[in-house]
Structure 1
Amino acid sequence: MAKLPYFLTRFSCFVLLLAQLVSASVSGQNKAAEVTPYERDTTQTATYPQIIDWYQKLDRQYEQARLVEIGKTDIGKPLHLFLLAADKQFTARPDRVTLLINNGIHPGEPEGIDACMMLARNLLNGNKLPKNVLIAIVPVYNVGGSLNRGVSRVNQNGPVSYGFRGNARNLNLNRDFIKAEAENTKAFQTMFQSLKPQVFVDNHTSDGADYQHVLTYFATQKDKLHPEVSGYMTARFQPELDKLLIAKGFPPAPYVNHAGDTPESGLVGYNDTPRYSTGYAALFNCFGFTLETHMWKPFPARVEASYVFDEAVIRLCEREAGTILANQKRANDAVRTQKTFALSTKLDRSKTDSVTFLGYAAAYKPSEVSGLKRLYYDRSKPFTKRVPYWNTFTIDTQVDKPRSYVIPQAWREVIGELKRNGVRLQTLPKDTLMTVSAYYITEYKSPQRPYEGHFIHTGVKVRTEMQPIQFYKGDYLVQTDQATNRYIVETLEPQAVDSFFAWNFFESILDQKEYFSNYIFEDTAAELVKNDPSLRKQLDEKRATDKAFGESANAQLDFIYQRTPYYEKTHNRYPVYRLN
């Protein structure tokens, strides 16, 4: 007889648990009597006004809670942060862990929103706040998307209506953590640097394959984290987290990023580069988890899974606080003196692990729409098996940091990004001529269509040239003896996968500003070639090996022009200089 699908057994248990929670809440003290909009109707997720009203009430009722506005969002409404502290002290301190939980970055994935509303109330009402953890909850991050309510996720099993993935500018905020175009992101970064969390959770809902797991997640990519943090996260925190989840009836699996057509082909670890929330957090030695509840499980089961996951992380932070704090401090100290930094990584398929996966048998049948073969998952055929898991990433590109970077003050947007992210900068007190190492961009690729409003550059190659350059009073010096070194290097080095150059912060350097008139420059070029045998040799060799070049008079003139004092030195010169 086929085993009852896992999510159905969990759903029936949850209905009983939910009834008990609601009953306990209603029969308790008056200040704890209210239930969330979700608890009143489990087919619904709370609206933005209901969310903020809920946290405002908790703020008024409990001295251990505080709701604050941390900045504006693109839609003009404030971004809120809800803080929970047993000692009523709501600032980050070096003697306690700060846990940051983010909700509604994609408001169409709302389980974390409703789960955290209940979790916050229950922690306060039950006097269960950990004494050594500051809990910081973003009630709903993408406010504009939350207000744009509808049914845009066609593959999702409830709730009845929910928010939209894009924000008020139609930006995916979980791709914005380096370019920081959204006001939401700027506010988040300011808040993050104030809190300096050690642990981060971002609540989401998955899409894609079907399987038995209600709950999957990925941790910050272990091979990019500093070893002081990564080793502890993978060897102790995650195994303990998984035990707690299993004990609560939610056996986890890695986020289902499968290698072939179905999960049985194996799972691939997620490479969360700094554009993503957990990748951004990793730049500051904060380890994180992206929770992905399964889209096709009943909405109440997904809310319960989010509740269980976030509560488990809180309890582990409480239990492991001393170790977590010590690991981040050692990592911060080590990064100050670290010499070499990775700029990009790649999956190492030669290193294979395996994980237990609770799936459904996949099969194919004719499509009723196209008549062609289509994939489906047969829920009458659940399985439990070990599947391959590739989660080792190796360094693809790396660089030795300079002693300092020098940035002309003209690049105000870049300076603003650095300041907001906790980077210490110095201004030059007077005009100064310095010999620096300058990059020239020699090659890059850009897509035909924009990605999040940008033509993001990949495959960047550079050449280096030592040059004396005049800098001016007010230009900036960025020394690389800081705990923020990873953020500094990975944004300022143009070859980094999510560098400011990749995100088009420096596009104007790619434009040539001065040119030559062919008929006039012909005589100058002839004189230059006549008087410079080395230049003549280079020209002849290029003509001999490049047929198209040899047939283009303009290309040959330009070849000579680029090797003259007339050619502008600023063309393709990256305006962040290395001082060694």
Structure 2
Amino acid sequence: MHIRHRPALAAALLASATAAVGQTPAALSGLPAAILPPALPWSGASERLIVAGDDPWITPAERSDFVTTPRQAETRAWLERLDAASPLISIETFGRTGEGRDLLLVRASKGAGKDGTPKPVVLVQAGIHAGEIDGKDAGLMLLRDIALRGKHALLDRVDLVFVPIYNVDGHERMSRWNFPALRGPLEKGYVGNARNINLNRDYAKADAPETRAMIALLRRLDPVLYIDCHVSDGFDMQYDITFTYAGWGRYAYHRATADWLTERFGPKVMRALSRAGHIPTIYPSPVDTRTPVSGIRQAPEGPRYSTGYGDFIGVPTVLVENHMLKPYRQRVLGTYVLLEAALALAASDGDRIAAAKAGDRSSRPATMLTRWQPAAQPIGWVERFRGIAFDTYRSPATGRLEQRWTGKPVTFRMPVIGQEPVETVTLPKAWWVPGEQVEVIDRLRLHGIDFETTASPQRAHLDRVRLREVAVQPAQDGRLPIKASFDHEPVVETLPAGTVRVPADQPLGLLAAALLEPEAPDSLLAWGFFPEILSAPPRAEDFIDAPLAEALLERDATIRTAFAAKVAAEPAFAADGAQRLAWLRERLPGRDRFHHVYPVWREP
């Protein structure tokens, strides 16, 4: 079928499914009701947050009865009108997208505190995945009620900084075919930005202009609380508003902020949501969506994610994951309740949060977990998990059994699948980065990691890392990641002037380790920042290298023994002269200084 026919196909599919359930297209939210599972009936006290249809400050989502969400221009116009009406509201641009659109933030503030110092900031962002846009419409409602409807006391001890649309370019690519499992709004934005980079995989490598702007904003504000609003995928269940933190709190790299989140934030917000008629829980990340009773997964997180990044920089960070199959209206109202409760708690717990942040930033861990695997036994159980029943049917499309959710509530005992460590690295005193690695040094500077640049050559005892079993991974978010095994060897190097030394003893030492330790899963090496080390080394003709390899075997007993063992164990290797010579070439004196050599040294 030609591409020009696909819009007609989409319209026909929608019309067919619509007719099957007797609805008009205007009544639909995303996919037709014939495809999405049944929605559970719901009503709650949070419905009182919705204003009357003739209210002059009704938000665009409220006006549509939460069927649609406004585009960027309408969102901005509404906010600018609110800014003009209230001295508590101000708008600014903090960056631009790849396609040149403004990145907007809204500050709700009563000004500095009594002592003249700025108040702590709660930073809330919506639309990092632009189809998951609940936070935008909830934030508009909350800003209105703070500015004009008597909730200004929320600003007595904190400021709210709200980013209504983080991934603006993706947001403006609205379609009812984006995020098809989400029950509303009718049209949704796209997951990636203009370059199809998933911004919630970009915090560590920071390739996107949006990410770079957000990191700069985080450094400027240093918020007491950072909230990232999403909508989940997974399986059907009764819970509507779910949230979590880095490593589910259990596996966080920094303990003080994680403890505040689990001990203070979680219980407070759970109570507020329950009182408002919602059914909250900690985000149940499924081990297997096709078999929900397999369990929910909890694991460490790297700094590619907002929550992981917040953990590594010592900022309490919350991931909101509203349940995809709950109606948009219900999800938006639950998000409003969560944000309001979060503001109130941040105001009352300001000193506690500041102490937790300071404690994390003063910690100097000696090791860092880099690889883990699912624990052999559950680490806990949810005794009465509130799920939804399903049956199966034979799909003519897939030829296999597929799920069909019934909408009938069930409860069952759900295992929590944790992780156990596989690899932990001991952190060095420092890392040394060659001055020519400008892209890496740019990332260190962007993240605010301290480093010093040498003015003269430095001779040092260092740890050099060689890669083996290197495998380039499928393209992801604008990069070609790699996986490898590593050999460490002590060397004495004279490093030229202009080399950068990154000490581990600094507030962001753990983030430096996550970016520069070769074994770290979100390291710049793992993201493919050093493609030059994958190039084949220069080589002489075989009639030169073969005698050199013979001489190497004759004089080096260790290499001779390893070579003989490999020949005996691997018949394909034994029969392939090119492979045999390549293996020996890598062990000849004067090896290439680039090939499979990590160009960052570690200072033990």
TM over 0.5: yes
1:192, CA displacement in angstroms?
Answer: 1.1
| Contact persistence 2:204–2:522 (CA under 8 A) | yes
Task: Rate the CA distance shift 1:355–1:131 in 2: closer, same or farther, 3 A.
Answer: farther
2:359 matched to 1:321? no
2:379 matched to 1:346? no
Alignment counterpart, residue 108 of structure 1, candidates 108, 121, 131: 131
2:490 matched to 1:453? no
Other-structure match for 1:190:
216
1:428, CA displacement in angstroms?
Answer: 0.2
2:301 matched to 1:277? no
Task: Rate the CA distance shift 1:377–1:522 in 2: closer, same or farther, 3 A.
Answer: closer
2:420 matched to 1:394? yes
Alignment counterpart, residue 47 of structure 1, candidates 71, 78, 81: 71
| Contact persistence 2:242–2:283 (CA under 8 A) | yes
* Paired residue type of 2:430: S
1:8, CA displacement in angstroms?
Answer: 2.5
Other-structure match for 1:29:
none
Distance (whole Å) between structure 2 residues aligned to residue 441 and residue 191 of structure 1: 36
Other-structure match for 1:503:
527
Distance (whole Å) between structure 2 residues aligned to residue 131 and residue 386 of structure 1: 44
2:447 matched to 1:414? no
| Contact persistence 2:294–2:415 (CA under 8 A) | no
Other-structure match for 2:509:
485
Other-structure match for 2:4:
none
Distance (whole Å) between structure 2 residues aligned to residue 304 and residue 542 of structure 1: 64
Q: Deviations over 1:356-390 (max 9, x none)?
A: 433222222444766753322222x323x353242
Other-structure match for 2:102:
78
Task: Rate the CA distance shift 1:196–1:253 in 2: closer, same or farther, 3 A.
Answer: same
1:148-187 counterparts in 2 under 5 A?
148-151=173-176, 152-187=178-213
1:134-145 counterparts in 2 under 5 A?
134-145=159-170
| Contact persistence 1:14–1:300 (CA under 8 A) | no
1:223-372 counterparts in 2 under 5 A?
223-260=251-288, 261-269=290-298, 271-334=300-363, 337-348=364-375, 349-354=377-382, 356-367=384-395
1:512, CA displacement in angstroms?
Answer: 2.6
Distance (whole Å) between structure 2 residues aligned to residue 368 and residue 434 of structure 1: 66
Other-structure match for 1:18:
50
Consecutive unaligned residues in structure 2, runs of 5 or more: 1-37
Distance (whole Å) between structure 1 residues aligned to residue 444 and residue 582 of structure 2: 38
| Contact persistence 1:215–1:252 (CA under 8 A) | yes
| Contact persistence 1:96–1:321 (CA under 8 A) | no
Distance (whole Å) between structure 2 residues aligned to residue 479 and residue 279 of structure 1: 21
Q: Any idea what SS the aligned residue of 1:9 has?
A: coil
Q: Which stretch of structure 1 is more off in the superposition, 548-557 or 174-183?
A: 548-557
Task: Rate the CA distance shift 1:477–1:544 in 2: closer, same or farther, 3 A.
Answer: same
1:128, CA displacement in angstroms?
Answer: 2.6
1:267, CA displacement in angstroms?
Answer: 2.2
* Paired residue type of 2:155: P
Distance (whole Å) between structure 2 residues aligned to residue 469 and residue 438 of structure 1: 9
* Paired residue type of 1:134: D
1:503, CA displacement in angstroms?
Answer: 0.4
Other-structure match for 1:124:
147
Alignment counterpart, residue 61 of structure 2, candidates 19, 38, 50: 38
Task: Rate the CA distance shift 1:532–1:84 in 2: closer, same or farther, 3 A.
Answer: same
Q: Deviations over 1:66-96 (max 9, x none)?
A: 322111211111212222222257xx97x85
2:10 matched to 1:8? no
| Contact persistence 2:128–2:167 (CA under 8 A) | yes
Q: Any idea what SS the aligned residue of 1:58 has?
A: helix
Distance (whole Å) between structure 1 residues aligned to residue 552 and residue 397 of structure 2: 70
* Paired residue type of 1:140: I
Other-structure match for 1:98:
121
Distance (whole Å) between structure 1 residues aligned to residue 425 and residue 275 of structure 2: 44
Distance (whole Å) between structure 2 residues aligned to residue 530 and residue 344 of structure 1: 40
1:278, CA displacement in angstroms?
Answer: 1.0
| Contact persistence 1:14–1:304 (CA under 8 A) | yes
Other-structure match for 2:591:
567
Task: Rate the CA distance shift 1:527–1:321 in 2: closer, same or farther, 3 A.
Answer: closer
Distance (whole Å) between structure 2 residues aligned to residue 60 and residue 103 of structure 1: 23
| Contact persistence 2:51–2:58 (CA under 8 A) | no
| Contact persistence 2:123–2:162 (CA under 8 A) | yes
Q: Any idea what SS the aligned residue of 1:250 has?
A: coil
* Paired residue type of 2:389: A
Percent identical among aligned pairs is 27
* Alignment RMSD: 2.6
Task: Rate the CA distance shift 1:56–1:473 in 2: closer, same or farther, 3 A.
Answer: farther
Q: What is the total number of aligned residue pairs between the two structures? A: 557
1:545, CA displacement in angstroms?
Answer: 4.1
Q: Any idea what SS the aligned residue of 2:236 has?
A: coil
| Contact persistence 1:65–1:88 (CA under 8 A) | no
Distance (whole Å) between structure 1 residues aligned to residue 491 and residue 398 of structure 2: 63
Distance (whole Å) between structure 2 residues aligned to residue 85 and residue 153 of structure 1: 34
1:138, CA displacement in angstroms?
Answer: 1.0
* Paired residue type of 1:53: A
1:311, CA displacement in angstroms?
Answer: 1.2
1:507-518 counterparts in 2 under 5 A?
507-518=531-542
Q: Which stretch of structure 1 is more off in the superposition, 126-135 or 484-493?
A: 126-135
1:504, CA displacement in angstroms?
Answer: 0.2
Q: Any idea what SS the aligned residue of 1:253 has?
A: strand
1:542, CA displacement in angstroms?
Answer: 4.3
| Contact persistence 2:245–2:319 (CA under 8 A) | yes
Q: Which stretch of structure 1 is more off in the superposition, 56-65 or 488-497?
A: 56-65
1:141, CA displacement in angstroms?
Answer: 0.4
* Paired residue type of 1:313: A
Q: Deviations over 1:480-524 (max 9, x none)?
A: 111111110011011111111110001211223311211133344
Other-structure match for 2:12:
none
Distance (whole Å) between structure 2 residues aligned to residue 69 and residue 540 of structure 1: 65
Distance (whole Å) between structure 2 residues aligned to residue 328 and residue 575 of structure 1: 33
Task: Rate the CA distance shift 1:78–1:432 in 2: closer, same or farther, 3 A.
Answer: same
1:536, CA displacement in angstroms?
Answer: 4.8
